[in-house]
Chain A
Amino acid sequence: MGTRWKWKGAKEKALADPMSQIVCQLQSCLLQSNSQVLLTSSCGLLEADDQQSELLDRACFGYRIITAEKGNRLFTLSMEETFYLFYILKCIKVIGEDKCEKSCEELWSFMNSCSENFTNLFKAYSHLRMKNWVVKPGNLYGADFVAYRHHPSLVHSEYAVLVLSDGQVESNGRLLVWSDFEGALRVTGGVAKTLLILYINKSGTEVTSPSCFENFLVEERTITRWSPEQCREDQTSLKKSLDADKRGHKKVRPKKKPSVKNNLGLIITGGLVCSLLISNCFLLARLWRSKL
């Protein structure tokens, strides 16, 4: 489907402000302040000051929790995000329910106990993050993740990501029947995304410690519907120009006339309302006087 920037100039803005630098800033900022993440049963909680929360927003980590309290803000981080900040960026400490700091192994086994698919999901998450793609949960689109080329305020997500692996995990049952396959394509196509499959190949590695991640291989494949009508070589250029024409017309035409009409309408109704209000005020004032 290609990249869909949200507004004119968004692409330039993204280029001028690379995601790698934002994440670097976030990393050093969290590191400096010795940040701690509180671990709950399903997510991490991070308290952030103004600068940190700005960077977390810009780098697209976690969700802000709105509270009545002023001052520091709370962010919820997904398991993958928490582990990414902890293990890859090494810029946070994680505190468990027992108020003790978690070691790498402890945290890793805790996360695996929360979700049997954690290793695969984390590998996929870190794979895309390390290429500086912004990765957010894909639950709105029936996917594991969605991947953005930059901050979601600048660009629509480009890929709906499904994570499959060579092991025996439940999520491998996906896309095995045509209805699943076609359903996934229909949903992603309907929201102008491309279905991206990340196959995690453990290549026989026993998953015993976090360092195993580094040996996993990730294979990227897109699944798309192919339209023979649109792909005939000689037709593509013709169709493109036709489409461009149509779009051009669509954009130019409706914008001008209605705006003039609407403005006139607004001015007239505004005028009427004003005059009514004024006359009413006079009437009220008279009534008051006569009563007094």
Chain B
Amino acid sequence: MGIAMYTLRKQPSSGVGAMEAKALASPSESSDAGGCLEDLNDDENSYASGCRSNLQCRKVASTGRWIDDLGMAELVLRKGNTWNSTGIIRNGKVLCFIEETLFLAEIGAFKILNDDNTILPMREIYGKALEAKNGCLWESFEAYKRLKSLGYIIGRHGISWSVKSVGTILPPEGLSDIDKKDFESIESTHISKTFTGMQRKEVQPIFDVYNPSSKFKKSSPGHPSFVLCLARGQPPSKQEVEDLENRCGCPLKFCKVDVGRTSFFSIDRVELPALP
């Protein structure tokens, strides 16, 4: 790339300069430089890609309202197809968790209204992300953002996308006019179960992640591609990995979040082949 830039700089000047630039950009040299760059890129990809995020800002924004009791935002005005794979459906309403709300707000795709119909500033949404009762650690949000911006479909671990998709959680009777408290009664147990008491050193499953797909349906999400576990403090021990595998029953990935850098790991059971 250095050579290419050099060529660009030199070209408008005298003929000699242009020739020099041409000589520098001879096939062998430029391909060497390419090779070098490629290696560097590989390195970046596998070890430090956390620092690059490809956030794409949106022009159309949906609107939502923050429901403090639930610790979730309710979608009021739906725009764009983001919502095919974001937010859970309860009683015909779309609710989204703080990580979803914050992510969409960051890229300008979601405006959150206050009680007095003014738009909530970003600073306050960040403030909500820090509140423990909203159930999302900052590390979880970093991991969410990284995967979501790459198109992965992410739901909170163990929480169904829509009430219909899981037989055990039945929608309350009298569907017509349900207020916040009903939502709360359905969800509170789950949310508190998944996120309370997350210890500094514990490894916890946080998200069910599906590979990017345009065919995703909240009513039949299928099995997640993997369950993302957040490891804080220490790497997961063998015992912890085994327990989580038994609990989740699907492939696991582990993530570790440092300031601005999210690393993902697989710790997979393998069987080396017996060779001839």
Which residues of A line the B interface, CB within 8 A? 15, 18-20, 128, 130-133, 147, 149-150, 159, 164, 175-178, 180-182, 185-186, 189, 196, 199, 219-234, 246, 249-250, 253-254, 257-258
Contacts and interface: CB of A to CB of B under 8 A. Distances in A.
Interface residues of B, number: 40
B27 A254 contact: yes
Contact of B45 (A196, A227, A232): A227
B212 A254 contact: no
A225 B42 CA distance: 13
Nearest to B49: A229
Contacts of B218: none
Contacts of A177: 234-235
Nearest to A130: B274
A121 B270 CA distance: 19
Given A222-B270, A223-B266, A226-B266, A258 B276 contact: no
A219 B49 CA distance: 31
Nearest to B211: A233
Interface in B123-153: 146-147, 150-152
Contact of A228 (B147, B234, B270): B147
Nearest to B30: A253
B182 interface: no
Contact of B275 (A149, A223, A227, A249): A149
A225 B263 contact: yes
Given A132-B275, A257-B28, A232 B47 contact: no
A223 B264 CA distance: 11
Contacts of A226: 253, 264-266
B204 to A, nearest CB: 16
A111 B211 CA distance: 50
A221 B268 contact: yes
B105 to A, nearest CB: 22
Nearest to A230: B45
A20 B266 contact: no
10 contacts: A15-B276, A133-B272, A176-B235, A177-B235, A224-B266, A225-B46, A231-B211, A233-B212, A250-B31, A250-B35
Contacts of A18: 275-276
A187 to B, nearest CB: 12
Contact of A249 (B31, B211, B268): B31
Which of B45, B213, B241, B253 counts the most A-chain CB atoms under 10 A from its CB? B45
B224 to A, nearest CB: 14
Contacts of B273: 131
B115 to A, nearest CB: 38
B157 interface: no
A131 B271 CA distance: 11
Nearest to A198: B272
Contacts of B31: 249-250, 253-254
Interface in B62-100: none
A34 to B, nearest CB: 29
Which of B146, B151, B211, B266 counts the most A-chain CB atoms under 10 A from its CB? B266
B211 A220 contact: no
A144 to B, nearest CB: 15
A232 B274 contact: no
Contacts of B23: none
Contacts of A233: 211-213
Given A225-B265, A232-B150, A253-B27, A132 B276 contact: yes
A181 B236 CA distance: 10
B267 interface: yes
A169 to B, nearest CB: 15
Contacts of B150: 228-229, 232
Contacts of B45: 227, 229-230
Contact of A225 (B47, B268, B276): B47
Contacts of A253: 27-28, 31
A224 to B, nearest CB: 5
Contacts of B35: 250
A18 B275 CA distance: 8
Contacts of B32: 254
Interface string B23-44: 0000110011011001000000
